[in-house]
Amino acid sequence: MRAFFGVELPGHLADPIADVQATFDGVEGLRFVDPEQTHVTLKFLGEIGDGGDGDDQTEPALDDVIAAGERAVEAAGVDPFECTVEGLGVFPRLDYISVVWTGIDEGSAELTGLHEALEAETMALGVDPEDHEFTPHVTLARMNDARGKELVQRVVRERDPEIGRFTVEDVSLVTSTLTADGPEYETVASLPLG
């Protein structure tokens, strides 16, 4: 099963996120993330085993991943903290867009510390390290093709939305199942901070 460690956004931010997504209405080639399922990915793990007999022995087992997450949260030494969600950006760059996101201002240092601790612990399980610099963000949409690129560029340059704030109290281990309607997420473990 595909999995990642992340911070799930609370329900009160779903409407403000949907409002920001609406500024991209009519853009061809964009697939929007369900505002109810938004999150900050701290560490993408790829495939992990669920502990069943048919598991690929090269994949880290669920119990080992949870234990690594617990060690990482403890090593990071981060107490519950406030996050602000604001602004717009894209990956990898404005002239070639694959992801449209909103950023994290307050709280980014704590999220980065958690990411670094998770990276160290999961690498010890054989999970590949990230091949790019960690940027705390919430994915709003994925761009399938460049038909609407100019409109996305304009909105990202001109808008600086303030979406809201929330308290981060735990890190979640989430499984992701890819469907025709987009990914479906299920939280399988919650690791409290502090």
Find the CATH number of the domain harbouring 7: 3.90.1140.10
Of 36, 45, 141, the C-alpha closest to 97 is: 141
Is 149 inside any structural domain?
A: no
Is 140 inside any structural domain?
A: no
Is 94 inside any structural domain?
A: no
The reported pLDDT for the residue numbered 89 is 97
Residue 110 CA, chain-centre distance (Å), reads: 15
Instruction: Give the pTM.
Output: 0.93
Is 125 inside any structural domain?
A: yes
* Domains identified in the chain, total number: 1
Is 13 inside any structural domain?
A: yes
39 noted as active-site residue: yes
Q: CB–CB of 119/90 below 8 Å?
A: no
Domain containing 28 equals: 2-84+108-134+166-192
User: Is cis: bond before 183, omega within 30 of 0?
Assistant: no
Is 62 inside any structural domain?
A: yes
Residues 6+ apart with CB under 8 A from 25: none
Among the residue ranges 51-55, 147-151, 168-172, the one predicted with the least confidence is: 51-55
Is 122 inside any structural domain?
A: yes
CA distance linking residue 112 with residue 117, whole number of Å? 9
132 noted as active-site residue: no
Res. 51 pLDDT band, cuts 50 70 90: low
Half-sphere exposure of 150 (CA within 13 A, CB side): 1
Is 80 inside any structural domain?
A: yes
Spot the catalytic one: 12, 39, 115, 132: 39
